[in-house]
Structure 1
């Protein structure tokens, strides 16, 4: 393989990884918007006085019990949260892979995880703080 082919292959790898990252970021934005719409719908249903409500599920308009509609929205919010967290954790690894391809050092602190309640409790005990 000559230098031009190596360079072209390298650029293709970098572009593919960058496109993957941008696609994931766009998906997080879309899921966050859907989660926010679910939250707004749930709040509107909480204020509603009637027992039944109309709800759009994809291309269908369905009349259902208000409580069932609220439960459906809450479930969808949870699923969006799970999917967003999954994509964000994968995104950290992809960003580091891209930086490796570009021969740049990884972002310091990118792979940090928050402390658990048990760990925070232990630190508070050491510092003499009570919960």
Structure 2
């Protein structure tokens, strides 16, 4: 349950970053105010964009890692409860190479 709450919290932060990046793109100013913790700092617009993009990439990595770990934890919990694993929970999508080979063999259209 704590992983789910953390995913939700990180997703909200990612959405706030997205909103901030959109406002910076539409801005014509050269400097902007940025909050770092509880401190306001006047910062260059380009470096602020790069900071937000780096934070956005790190948030994507953290969220995807939590989601993958959550699937494993769900199956471990179901094992402890003596229940069968959730069918299809750990399925992984096919990559382009696999899809092309199945299409060339006539198994996919």
Q: Do the two structures share a fold, i.e. TM-score over 0.5?
A: yes
Runs in 1 of length 4+ with deviation above 6 angstroms? none
Larger % of helix: which?
1
Q: Greater relative contact order: 1 or 2 (C-alpha under 8 angstroms, separation 6 or more)?
A: 1
1:113 is aligned, of 87, 92, 101, to 92
Q: Does 1:43 align with 2:22?
A: yes
Query: Is the radius of gyration larger for structure 1 or structure 2?
Result: 1
| TM-score, normalised relative to structure 1 | 0.77
Count of aligned residue pairs for this structure pair:
109
Pair 1:67 & 2:67 matched: no
5+ unaligned residues in a row in structure 2: which ranges? none
Give me the TM-score of the superposition, normalised by structure 2.
Answer: 0.92
CA offsets 1:102-128 (integer angstroms, 9 cap, x no match):
111000000111211222232333349
How many Å apart are 1:87 and its aligned residue?
Answer: 0.7
State the Cα RMSD in Å: 1.7
Structure 1 unaligned residues grouped into runs of 5+ = 1-21
Distance of 2:55 and 2:22 partners within structure 1: 14
Map Cα deviations across residues 47-85 of structure 1 (whole Å, 9 max, x no partner). 000111111121111111111111111111110110011
